[in-house]
Every structure is written in structure tokens, then in C-alpha cells.
């Protein structure tokens, strides 16, 4: 089974031009999908027409504030297929050699980069230079230094750099964050994040360090890193980590199979997390406080997300994550909306800094101090 099918099946199984427009009304998820939207839409080109790019494109058909208007791909047959399916004009279709020409295309406001991790950095620099906003899949790059360069390039070009943190808009996730902020859980001292699945085809790019930048940590483990930060509402100050590798033929040097890691926070809270490519049924967040608890399982799959707290089951409605993400990101770019949890490039750099430190902790066996 290919990675595209493997990862998609895993997630399915566990879950059954843009200028600020201050005069536009600010829409919430509740009313955006029940009331007509008359404002401007963010015109988006998707770069990378694989399985996740397809998922985003399908979800965007229900978006109110974001519209698919262009494609960028190295595969001509995919471009033709998408042209017909999504009614994309020929002049809005590009390949990896000529996509710098989007600079002169008023039909494209932003490019959503959904390509292998190692390509995010150079592609973001080119999109920014072309004067278009960037939405980049996570991890934003393969290390924090690249991430900082991407942030600087977009700042210099005066364009937004957003990262595909779809869980930052998910209603049940946001309800737990609200409860923690308002003290309903009491002082919170522990977070557990379990992120993993059994990966398939050993020849895929996710198991190629040159393209992926690592292994499970760069793909699925980042969910627990990011989750620990937004669930606890703090930035970690130290990390320890241990790697387990049972198949060195499949998981070569620099490609992690399983890593357990621990994060310490200024309040005294701790996070205990697992990232793996060799175990299924792992998609759980647990937050424990003096007054109560919160649990999501599944916590990061494509949905519906399921959750409960000491007060009972979470019942917030499920909205297709990518639909909600694209509308919320359009509101950030077009209206200057401030999300509850940031999704900007600085947020992506923080996760990459922690990943860098985790790999350092694995290599040295030492506790690594963090300045996120």
C-alpha cells in the first residue's frame, strides 16, 4: 500500500488579491455556513496535486471565503484532470519551472504549498518573491533555520505566511482551550499526546531523509508537539527524548521510526508524547488539571474529532477541517482576523525549533534547554 493510501486510510479509520478589507463583516464558523457571504474570496492556487492536495481542493468546494483558481504541478496529466474537474482556466496552470509567472496573474492571491517537506523552503521563497501570500503545509520546513528564512522572505515581500494547522480551528479543540483559559480545569500540570500509524511503502518520500527531513516526527509527531503547546497554553523550556528503531532497513539513518519525548513548561506542567510510524490506534490528547480533565480521541484525524471532559461529552459540530481552515485563513488574510491559536510562520518556527531539539536530545541523550 502506498503512503498516500496508508496515511489516508489511517486517518479515516481512526475518525470513522488580497488586501485588508476592514469594512467586511467578520464571520464566525457558526454563521459563515448558515448565512450568505457577500464579501471577497481569497483566490488560491494549490501547489502539489497529490492525495492531500486533492482533499483540500474537494473541501474548498464548500468554502465561502476561499476559491480554488489555479494549480501548480510537475505532472501535466494531473493539471488536465484538475482543469476539467474544478474548471480552472489554462492561464492559471503552472509547472515547477514557470510558476514564478504567477507574479503577473491577478487571478491568484495565494499559493497553498502541499509538496514534500524539503521543497517548502525554496518554493515559499519563490512564491513570496512573486508577491503572493503563502499557505504552507506542516512541517513548514525541515529545520528552524529554514523556517526563519521563510518568515523573513515573506515579511520582506509584505505577504502573509500561514501554516496548515487545521486543528487550530477545530471546534472541540477550541472548546478545551477555552475551558483551560477560563480556569474550568484548574491548574493544569500534565498533557499526553500520542501520534502514530503504521507506514507503508518503504520507497516513498516520507522515508527519504533528503525529502522529508526525518521520519515520523516530521509527519505525525508534530501534532503532539503543537498540541502540547496549544493545550497547555505555554512554551516549553526543556526537552528530553528517546528513540526506538526496530527496522533499520526501512528506517535508515536520520529517519526516525519511534520517538518518545518529554517537554517541561514554566508553570511546572509536563508533556509526555509518542511519535511513531509502527503502531496504529494512536491519536489521543489528554489534559489533566486540579479541577478536571479533557480528552480527545481521535484528536487530530480528519474528523469527526471525539472528546470528553469531566463535565461530559463534547458536542461541538463537525465542519470539514480543510473547509473551515481555508475560510479562516481567508479571513486572516482579507480581514485581518486574529485566530485563537496562531497559524503564522512564527508558529511554524516554534515547532521546528522543538523538533530540532528533540533530534539533538536523541543524539546526545541529554536534556536540551529550549528558547521557543
Residues labelled as active-site residues: 138, 223
Angle at the Cα of 294 from the Cα atoms of 290 and 295, rounded to 5 degrees: 140
Q: What is each CA distance from 323 to 42, 46, 296, 318, in whole angstroms?
A: 13, 14, 21, 11
Q: Are strands 258-264 and 270-276 parallel, antiparallel or unpaired?
A: antiparallel
| H runs (alpha helix) in the chain | 3-14, 29-32, 51-60, 76-86, 117-129, 144-157, 171-181, 209-212, 216, 222-232, 321-335, 345-364
Q: Choose among 20, 28, 26: nearest CA to 336.
A: 20
**Cell 523538533, residue located:** 355
Whether omega for the bond prior to residue 207 falls within 30 degrees of 0, making it cis, is no
Angle at the Cα of 259 from the Cα atoms of 256 and 264, rounded to 5 degrees: 135
State the DSSP string of 162-206. EE--GGGG-HHHHHHHHHHHTTTT-SEEEEEEEEE-----TTSGG
Q: Choose among 137, 302, 167: nearest CA to 228.
A: 167
Angle at the Cα of 358 from the Cα atoms of 299 and 260, rounded to 5 degrees: 55
How is residue 67 written as a grid cell? 476559491
How many whole angstroms separate alpha carbon 372 and alpha carbon 260?
A: 20
Q: Is 259 helix (H, G, I), strand (E, B) or coil?
A: strand
CA 39 to chain centre: 26
What 8-state DSSP symbol labels residue 344? B
Q: Do 313 and 294 form a contact (C-beta atoms < 8 A)?
A: no
Amino acid at each position: 500500500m502506498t503512503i498516500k493510501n496508508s496515511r489516508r486510510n489511517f486517518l479515516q479509520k481512526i475518525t470513522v488579491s488580497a488586501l485588508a478589507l476592514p469594512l467586511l463583516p467578520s464571520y464566525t464558523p457558526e454563521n459563515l455556513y448558515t448565512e450568505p457571504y457577500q464579501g471577497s474570496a481569497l483566490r488560491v492556487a494549490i501547489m502539489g496535486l497529490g492525495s492531500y492536495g486533492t482533499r483540500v481542493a474537494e473541501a474548498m468546494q464548500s468554502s465561502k471565503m476561499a476559491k480554488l483558481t489555479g494549480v501548480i504541478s510537475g505532472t501535466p496529466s494531473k493539471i488536465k484532470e484538475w482543469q476539467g474537474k474544478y474548471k480552472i482556466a489554462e492561464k492559471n496552470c503552472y509547472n515547477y519551472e514557470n510558476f514564478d509567472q504567477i507574479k503577473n496573474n491577478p487571478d491568484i492571491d495565494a499559493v497553498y504549498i502541499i509538496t514534500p517537506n524539503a521543497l517548502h523552503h525554496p518554493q515559499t521563497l519563490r512564491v513570496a518573491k512573486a508577491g503572493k501570500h503563502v499557505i504552507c503545509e506542516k512541517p513548514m520546513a525541515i529545520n528552524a533555520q529554514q523556517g526563519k528564512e521563510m518568515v523573513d522572505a515573506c515579511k520582506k515581500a509584505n505577504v502573509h505566511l500561514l501554516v496548515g494547522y487545521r486543528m487550530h480551528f477545530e471546534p472541540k479543540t477550541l472548546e478545551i482551550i477555552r475551558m483551560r483559559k477560563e480556569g474550568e480545569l484548574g491548574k493544569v500540570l500534565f498533557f499526553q499526546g500520542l501520534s502514530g500509524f503504521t507506514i507503508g511503502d518503504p520507497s516513498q518520500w516520507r522515508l527519504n531523509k533528503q525529502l522529508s527531513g526525518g521520519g515520523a516526527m516530521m509527519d505525525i509527531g508534530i501534532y503532539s508537539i503543537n498540541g502540547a503547546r496549544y493545550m497547555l497554553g505555554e512554551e516549553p523550556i526543556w526537552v528530553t527524548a528517546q528513540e526506538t528503531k526496530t527496522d533499520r532497513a526501512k528506517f535508515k539513518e536520520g529517519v526516525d521510526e519511534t520517538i518518545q519525548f518529554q517537554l517541561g513548561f514554566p508553570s511546572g506542567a509536563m508533556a509526555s508524547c509518542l511519535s511513531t510510524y509502527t503502531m496504529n490506534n494512536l491519536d489521543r490528547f489528554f489534559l489533566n488539571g486540579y479541577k478536571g480533565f479533557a480528552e480527545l480521541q481521535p484528536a487530530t484525524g480528519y474528523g469527526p474529532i471525539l472528546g470528553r471532559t469531566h463535565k461530559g461529552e463534547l458536542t461541538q459540530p463537525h465542519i470539514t477541517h480543510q473547509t473551515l481552515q481555508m475560510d479562516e485563513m481567508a479571513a486572516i488574510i482579507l480581514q485581518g482576523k486574529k485566530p485563537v491559536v496562531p497559524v503564522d510562520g512564527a508558529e511554524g518556527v516554534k515547532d521546528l525549533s522543538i523538533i530540532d531539539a528533540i533530534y539533538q536530545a536523541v543524539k546526545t541523550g541529554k536534556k536540551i534547554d529550549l528558547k521557543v
